[in-house]
């Protein structure tokens, strides 16, 4: 059961990440002139923007992405920026794509 929960949370994380990319890079999204909806009829045009699992769901018609606009300037909190500076160089990504501590790398 625990492995199932990890897989579900990992997929949800990928989904949230893929949906946040257009928000974080709104300049890129505006330059691409994205549609209001990405569905199975037009998803092949946006394949490079979607993670594979999300693309397959949209392609099969199981999921529709409705895009919106951001009405505020995105800014990271100062506490997040300082924590990021403090954590610089402490983490890496393993071959499975998981975030791992370099200190405990031999355990991963």
Domain holding 6, by residue range, is 1-70
One domain, residues 102 and 88:
yes
Residue 58 has pLDDT above 80, yes or no: yes
One domain, residues 64 and 17:
yes
Distance CA 65, CA 50 (A): 10
One domain, residues 65 and 84:
no
One domain, residues 40 and 55:
yes
13-50 tens-digit pLDDT: 666 566 665 555 554 544 567 788 999 999 999 998 89
pLDDT at residue 17 in the model = 62
Residue 64 has pLDDT above 60, yes or no: yes
Q: Dihedral of the CA atoms 10, 59, 62, 36 (nearest 10)?
A: 90
Residue 8 has pLDDT above 70, yes or no: no
pLDDT at residue 97 in the model = 85
Q: Which residue has the tokens 């920026």?
A: 81
One domain, residues 15 and 51:
yes
Distance CA 49, CA 31 (A): 13
């Amino acid at each position: 059961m625990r492995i199932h929960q990890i897989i579900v949370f990992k997929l949800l994380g990928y989904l949230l990440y893929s949906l946040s990319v257009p928000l974080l890079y709104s300049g890129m999204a505006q330059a691409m002139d994205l549609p209001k909806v990405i569905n199975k009829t037009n998803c092949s045009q946006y394949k490079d923007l979607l993670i594979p699992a999300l693309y397959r769901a949209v392609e099969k018609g199981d999921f529709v992405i409705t895009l919106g606009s951001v009405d505020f300037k995105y800014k990271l909190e100062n506490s997040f920026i300082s924590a990021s500076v403090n954590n610089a160089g402490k983490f890496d990504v393993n071959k499975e794509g998981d975030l791992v501590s370099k200190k405990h790398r031999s355990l991963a």
